[in-house]
Amino acid sequence: MRNFKQVAIATLVLSAMAGTASWAQDTAPAVVAQVSTPAAPATAASAAAPSRPALEPRTLKPGDYIAAVVNSDIVAASEVVQRTERMRDEARRRGDTPTQELLHKQALDSLIDERVLVTYARENGPRVDEPELDRVVANVATQNKLSMDELKKRLAADGIDFRRFRENLRDQMLSERVREREVQGRIRVTDGEIDKYLDERQAALQDRAQINIAQILVPVAEDASPTLIAERRARAEAALERVKAGEDFAKVAREVSEDANKARGGEIGLRSGDKLPDVFVEAVRDLKPGEVRPTLLRSGAGFHVMKLIERQSGGASINTVVQTRARHILLRPSEQLSPEQATRRLTEFKRAIESGRATFEQLARANSEDGSAQEGGDLGWVSPGSFVPEFEEAMDALPLKGISNPVPSRFGVHLIQVMERRDVVLDNKQLRDQARQALRERKYDEAYGDWMKDLRARAFVETREWLD
């Protein structure tokens, strides 16, 4: 089974460097590189292996000063200012107005946590060999359409030392690997937990109805401005009124909906309820086939007009699963690429694919920031529970060849396409392995949070500026 934590991923961005390069802002592609970084086995030998050549302490630019000392590294005041400004901009887009003191503290805390992780990874992470690092640096140049000499000149023009640039890439690779190794090592799943999980799934499948839903989707982000939300709601309400007045649902869907199923009149296809978002199942629970939900459904994706096409009841077995072969394009937000910018960029990719100006595979190879890029974004065949919930929910809602709207997850923002589906009967060992992976995924965030708290508690941290 495959999971984004198991598909070896390392996205290396310029934001790891002290300072922000102006040439990596919105007007130019951010310097990025991708490399497959298998997690090293958690052995005493690997933990003791030297992880990096000696590197002089981070230096400050004239007029800058130290905001915090973290183990053997520092946080510069300029970094805190930059991080604070970015967090303020994000808060404004959400309509929040946190105080300057709160933003300042959150910015400094986040930078300290990053330094705690990277200094630990330098001492305990698996070694990153020079040839491997050379390949990553070469990828940076290639993905930004620069020769190696041009990359060095561009960095020098922005006051960035090339050796420091290499070492920051190494830091990110080390951090990714040691985080994967140590967090996964903390997660324990018992046979009793697996038994309970499988019993609950079997109970949920008994007499579970197969349903076919059609929808008209008018997308809008949850953090959009009130004006935009009102405008999108009005568009959805107008579509609902047209359907109520007797217009053909499929016709209205093709004209109004911005969902991947619009060409099919919004029809998603016959699926088991557990393969659909819970909000969809609940929205049509009291409808009879052919009926339209009388009110709009609001979800994280936007406003939905919902119609129940068909409902079939029947039993099912947890041993029979629908496997999906999907591909994706992953963009990871950074100092140079906000989540909103990543979303806009992926939306442009979707339009290019749908218009025939580019293929999904081409765009994935050129832009996706994970190890699947070289395969055109292909993630292979996966069983339910293999991906994080937000990704899997969006994937399951797609028809064959359908392309999602941008989907945020803890790994970044994804554009997803479903290539194939198949029914597979799992033996008991495969079924328990699938359950174990799903339970490990559920426990990951808590394990990561606990690990970071432990690292922070053991770290030497000295702040050198006033905090409220």
Q: Write the CATH number for 136.
A: 1.10.4030.10
pLDDT value at position 304?
A: 95
Q: Are residues 356 and 338 in the same domain?
A: yes
**What pLDDT score was predicted for residue 242?**
95
For every residue of 38-64, which 3-state class applies, written as one string? CCCCCCHHHHHCCCCCCCCCCCCCCCC
- Which residue, of 312, 336, 359, is where some domain finishes? 312
pLDDT, one tens digit per residue, over 294-313 is 999 998 889 999 999 998 76
Same domain, 32 and 129: yes
Please tell me whether residues 236 and 360 are part of one structural domain.
no
Q: Is 52 a residue whose pLDDT tops 70?
A: no
Say which residue, 97 or 353, is predicted with more confidence. Answer: 353
Residues 121 and 250 in one domain: no
* Residue 197: closest CA among 423, 431, 12: 431
User: Is 199 within a domain?
Assistant: no
Q: How many domains does the chain have?
A: 3
HSE (side-chain half, CA atoms, 13 Å) at 212: 14
pLDDT tops 90 at residue 248: yes
Between 342 and 325, residue with greater pLDDT = 325
pLDDT recorded at residue 313: 64
Identify the residue with better confidence: 450 or 269: 450
Q: How far is CA 357 from CA 89, 295, 348, in A?
A: 34, 38, 11
Residue 195 lies in a domain: no
In the prediction, which pLDDT does 367 show? 86
For residue 94, being part of any structural domain is answered with yes
Q: Say what the pTM is.
A: 0.55
User: Residue 129: enclosing H or E segment and its boundaries?
Assistant: none
Last residue in a domain, options 267, 294, 312: 312
- The model's confidence at residue 444, banded by pLDDT at 50, 70 and 90, is confident
Q: Are residues 412 and 284 in the same domain?
A: no
In a domain, 384, yes or no: yes
In this structure, are 396 and 272 located in the same domain?
no
How much is the pLDDT for 206?
56
pLDDT at 10 (0 to 100): 28
Residue 435 forms part of a structural domain: no
213 or 139, which is more confident?
A: 213
Assess whether 384 and 458 both reside in one domain. Answer: no
Whether residue 17 is found in the same domain as residue 95: yes
User: Which range, of 330-344, 411-425, 431-445, averages the lowest pLDDT?
Assistant: 330-344
Residue 361 pLDDT > 50, yes or no?
Answer: yes
Highest-pLDDT range among 119-128, 146-155, 229-238: 229-238
Instruction: Give the C-alpha separation, 403 to 353, whole Å.
Output: 9
Domain match, 163 and 261 both: no
Which one, of 52, 40, 43, 68, lies nearest residue 459 by Cα? 68
Q: How many Å apart are CA 404 and CA 360, to the nearest integer?
A: 12
Nearest CA-CA partner of 328 in 363, 285, 293:
363
For residue 53, give its domain range.
11-189+447-463
Give the range among 29-43, 96-110, 176-190, 398-412 with minimum mean pLDDT: 29-43
Phi first, then psi: give them for residue 380, nearest 5 degrees.
Answer: 75, -175
Percentage of residues in the chain with pLDDT exceeding 70? 83
Judge residue 74's burial from the number of C-beta atoms within 10 Å of its C-beta, 0-12 exposed, 13-18 middle, 19 or more buried. Answer: buried
Q: How far is residue 22 CA from its own chain's centroid?
A: 25
User: To the nearest whole percent, how much of the chain has pLDDT over 90?
Assistant: 41
Report the pLDDT value the prediction gives residue 141, as an integer from 0 to 100. Answer: 79
The confidence score (pLDDT) of residue 269 equals: 86
pLDDT for residue 39 is more than 80 = no
Domain annotation covers residue 218: yes
pLDDT category at 4 given cuts 50, 70, 90 is: very low
State whether 35 and 164 are in the same domain.
yes
pLDDT at 249 over 50: yes
pLDDT, mean over the chain: 81
pLDDT band at 120 (very low <50, low <70, confident <90, very high): very high
Q: What SS3 class is residue 43? A: coil
> Is 442 within a domain?
no
- Is the domain of 78 the same as that of 173? yes
Classify 70 as helix, strand or coil: strand
Q: Are residues 328 and 308 in the same domain?
A: no
More confident residue, 333 or 342: 342
pLDDT band at 131 (very low <50, low <70, confident <90, very high): confident
Which residue, 292, 312, 332, sits at the end of a domain? Answer: 312
Inform me whether the pLDDT recorded for 29 exceeds 80: no
CATH number at residue 334: 3.10.50.40
**252 or 17, greater pLDDT:** 252
Higher pLDDT, 155 or 28: 155
Task: Say if residue 31's pLDDT is above 70.
Answer: no
Per-residue model confidence as pLDDT tens digits over 53-111:
334 446 667 778 899 999 989 999 988 998 999 889 888 887 888 999 999 999 999 99
**Helices (H), ranges, 284-404:** 339-355, 360-367, 389-396
Average pLDDT over residues 136-157: 82
Residue 297 belongs to some domain of the structure: yes
